[in-house]
Amino acid sequence: MTSVAVNSQQLAPTVWQLARVEGRRLLRHPVVLVAFVLCAVWMIALAKGLVGGDYFAVAGPGLLPVLAALVAANLAALRSRRSDTEELYESLPSPERTRTLAHLLSLGWLFGGSAVFVAAAFVGLGGLDGFVIDFKGTTAVPSVAELAQGPFAVATVAAVGIALARWIPFLPAAPVLAAGLVVFQMPATTWNLQNAWTWLLPLVNAAETPPGTSFPCDRPKEGVGWCGEAVFQTTAAGWHLAYLAGLGIAFGTVALLRHDRSPRTIALGATGLAVAAVAGVVQIP
């Protein structure tokens, strides 16, 4: 007895109340908190020149909250299974679909938290170094589309975590996927910056690097330095957001398909996938 005809008048408020609880718990999750703290420390160290400025060092901090979101959302969606509350929950009026929907909506809180973090980093780092983006001292202010990449990536990858929990409900699945993301993200952003497929990863940056190096702007040695074009690809970043949003909707739908295979849900998933496909191709500069 898993599927239940749900009174839609009751479903919406139940989902929102549950999403509110889940969202707050997600933001307070130790993995998420630690990731944000480490990310902040890493970014400050970068801005103060305490750590090397190779490309992964620049892109790496953003990856921490993304990975944390994946793991925390997965753990939250697996909670009833981990805690053996499935039997109790099955006897309640709200079906599992309600909980899945609430977990997906709770990502709004994570998105909001990430946005606040990015805004704080924007203000803080601007105050620290005036947005210096290379060793020549070039300054540039990132666009909103680029700044929004962080919260979008966090929410999208967290949706992957929820889909994973619904289809592969095993605890190690999310950490393994997180490790996989690091494995793909690191070489992509460190050694193959100009490869088109790097744009399919959650976090990208359009800055160019000297051939054969991972530094957007190589540290000058004995007066000889090289700097790539330290430019921001605002248009590409905008398409990347659409790509992430499409992926997020697609993975969210994959999670929902576990309980709800209505034409409306399938259409939503197909739309998300189409947006991700189109934006995924168009975004490549």
Residue 108 binding other proteins, by CB under 8 A: no
Dist CA 182 CA 202 (whole Å): 11
Q: Which of 97, 99, 103, 259 binds other proteins (CB under 8 A)?
A: 99
Residues 121/148, Cβ–Cβ less than 8 Å: no
Q: Per-residue DSSP letters for 237-261? A: HHHHHHHHHHHHHHHHHHHHTTT--
Residues 229/208, Cβ–Cβ less than 8 Å: yes
Residues 64/39, Cβ–Cβ less than 8 Å: yes
Residue 10 binding other proteins, by CB under 8 A: yes
Residue 94 binding other proteins, by CB under 8 A: yes
Residue 270 binding other proteins, by CB under 8 A: no
Stretch of 9-17, 109-117, 118-126, 211-219 lying at the interface with other proteins (CB under 8 A): 9-17
The least distance separating other proteins from the CB of residue 85, rounded to whole angstroms, comes to 4
Helix, strand or coil, per DSSP, at residue 70:
helix
Residue 79 binding other proteins, by CB under 8 A: yes
The least distance separating other proteins from the CB of residue 238, rounded to whole angstroms, comes to 37
Stretch of 13-21, 181-189, 216-224, 228-236 lying at the interface with other proteins (CB under 8 A): 13-21
Residue 139 binding other proteins, by CB under 8 A: no
Dist CA 244 CA 153 (whole Å): 6
5 or 224, CB closer to other proteins? 5
Residue 83 binding other proteins, by CB under 8 A: yes
Dist CA 255 CA 105 (whole Å): 12
Q: Which of 48, 85, 139, 262 binds other proteins (CB under 8 A)?
A: 85
Stretch of 6-14, 45-53, 224-232, 241-249 lying at the interface with other proteins (CB under 8 A): 6-14
Helix, strand or coil, per DSSP, at residue 71:
helix
82 or 136, CB closer to other proteins? 82
Sign of torsion, CA 135 200 157 102?
positive
Tokens read off for 95? 């079906």
Residues 6+ apart with CB under 8 A from 192: 198
The least distance separating other proteins from the CB of residue 92, rounded to whole angstroms, comes to 4
In the complex, the residues that contact other proteins under the rule CB under 8 A are 1, 3-7, 10, 13-14, 17-18, 21, 79-80, 83-94, 98-99
